[in-house]
């Protein structure tokens, strides 16, 4: 399984999201590769992804995709992340 | 995972900002003052929000100002600015902002260790309020380095 985290620069916010998503996946006992990318490369990076984690600001720019686009409000709230990742995968 | 050492010049406590641009500029100035970035990087951080919206407000009260790695980044760095008066960035859930982190990375992967350490510090849900309330640089450092016992 592949999860892509998206932000404007592909560093910083998407990096935080990647680190915290990996922690949550480990806690849930799930295996997935998590890749941080910028919005400009979403088409190529997320072509084979099951889940895209991002902020509300980028949903429109992501455009048509087969992945589940999941909006995260608080990047440090691992409960929110667990709940939403589990819902997207399950 | 530990945070890179935060120099005095990288921490500004109780600053005043007229608006979000001002707040991001303060975080950029602190990166410039610590020798990590040039003024162009500060403008690039502001442009990220102009282009993409207030997505850098990644948790209630906290903005993570950053831009792409490039020639305007001399070394990997972090800055922390706390605001005397909170500032609105226009975020639907996480406004107003009391703490602005400035982040500069020389390469996309090189900054991941600092980001992981930041995540460690802020996964404690009381950390943002504690940083916002800190009155000295040492207090800010202690909270971010996980030494505060908070």
Integer angstrom CA distances of residue B98 from A51, B5, B60, B81, B137: 31, 22, 9, 8, 15
Percentage of chain B beyond pLDDT 70 is: 96
pLDDT of residue B148: 63
Residue of A nearest to B123 (CA): A76
User: Which long-range contacts (C-beta less than 8 Å, at least 24 apart) are formed by A64-69?
Assistant: A67/A4
Is B122 touching A (CB cutoff 8 A)?
Answer: yes
A63: which DSSP letter? -
Record: contact B119-A76, CB cut-off 8 A: yes
Nearest CA distance, B8 vs chain A (angstrom): 22
Q: Which of residues 33 through 92 in chain B touch A, CB cutoff 8 A?
A: 48, 51-56, 58-60, 62, 64, 66-69, 92
Q: Which helix (H) or strand (E) element contains residue B49?
A: helix B39-52
Per-residue pLDDT 10s for chain A (90 aa) are 999 999 998 888 999 999 999 999 999 999 999 999 999 999 899 999 999 999 999 999 998 899 999 999 999 999 999 999 999 987
Tell me if residue B111 is catalytic.
no
Structure token pair of residue B118: 């930041």
Cα radius of gyration rounded to whole Å, chain B: 14
Task: State ipTM.
Answer: 0.90
pLDDT of residue B150: 44
Give the model confidence (pLDDT) of B82-106 as tens digits: 999 999 999 999 999 999 999 998 8
Give the model confidence (pLDDT) of B109-149 as tens digits: 767 778 888 888 998 889 999 999 999 999 999 999 877 65
Record: contact A12-B111, CB cut-off 8 A: yes
Record: contact A55-B58, CB cut-off 8 A: yes
Mean predicted confidence (pLDDT) in B46-74 = 95
pTM, two decimal places: 0.93
Chain B residues close to A77, C-beta within 8 Å: 59, 125
Identify which of B67, B92, B123 has the shortest CB distance to residue A78. Answer: B123
List for chain B the helix, strand, coil content (%; round to 5).
40, 25, 40
Chain B residues close to A75, C-beta within 8 Å: 58-59
Chain A residues close to B68, C-beta within 8 Å: 9-11, 38
- Show which residues on chain A lie within 8 Å of chain B, measured between beta carbons: 7-13, 15-16, 18-20, 23, 36, 38-39, 55-58, 61, 73-78
Record: contact A77-B125, CB cut-off 8 A: yes
């Amino acid at each position: 399984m592949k999860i892509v985290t998206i932000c404007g620069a592909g560093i910083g916010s998407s990096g935080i999201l990647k680190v915290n998503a990996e922690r949550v996946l480990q806690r849930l006992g799930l295996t997935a590769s998590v890749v941080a990318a910028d919005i400009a490369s979403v088409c190529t990076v997320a072509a084979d992804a099951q889940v895209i984690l991002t902020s509300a600001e980028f949903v429109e720019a992501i455009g048509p995709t087969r992945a589940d686009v999941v909006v995260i409000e608080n990047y440090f709230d691992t409960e929110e992340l667990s709940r939403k990742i589990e819902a997207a995968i399950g | 995972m530990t945070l890179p050492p935060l120099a005095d010049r990288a921490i500004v406590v109780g600053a005043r900002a007229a608006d979000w641009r001002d707040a991001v500029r303060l975080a950029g100035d602190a990166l410039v003052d610590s020798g990590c970035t040039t003024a162009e990087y500060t403008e690039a951080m502001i442009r990220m929000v102009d282009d993409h919206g207030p997505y850098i407000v990644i948790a209630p009260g906290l903005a993570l100002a950053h831009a792409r790695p490039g020639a305007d980044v001399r070394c990997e760095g972090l800055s922390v600015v706390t605001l005397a008066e909170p500032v609105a960035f226009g975020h639907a859930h996480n406004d107003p902002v009391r703490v602005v982190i400035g982040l500069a990375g020389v390469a996309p992967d090189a900054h991941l260790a600092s980001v992981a350490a930041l995540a460690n510090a802020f996964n404690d849900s009381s950390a943002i309020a504690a940083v916002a309330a800190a009155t000295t640089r040492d207090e800010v450092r202690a909270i971010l380095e996980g030494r505060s016992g908070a």
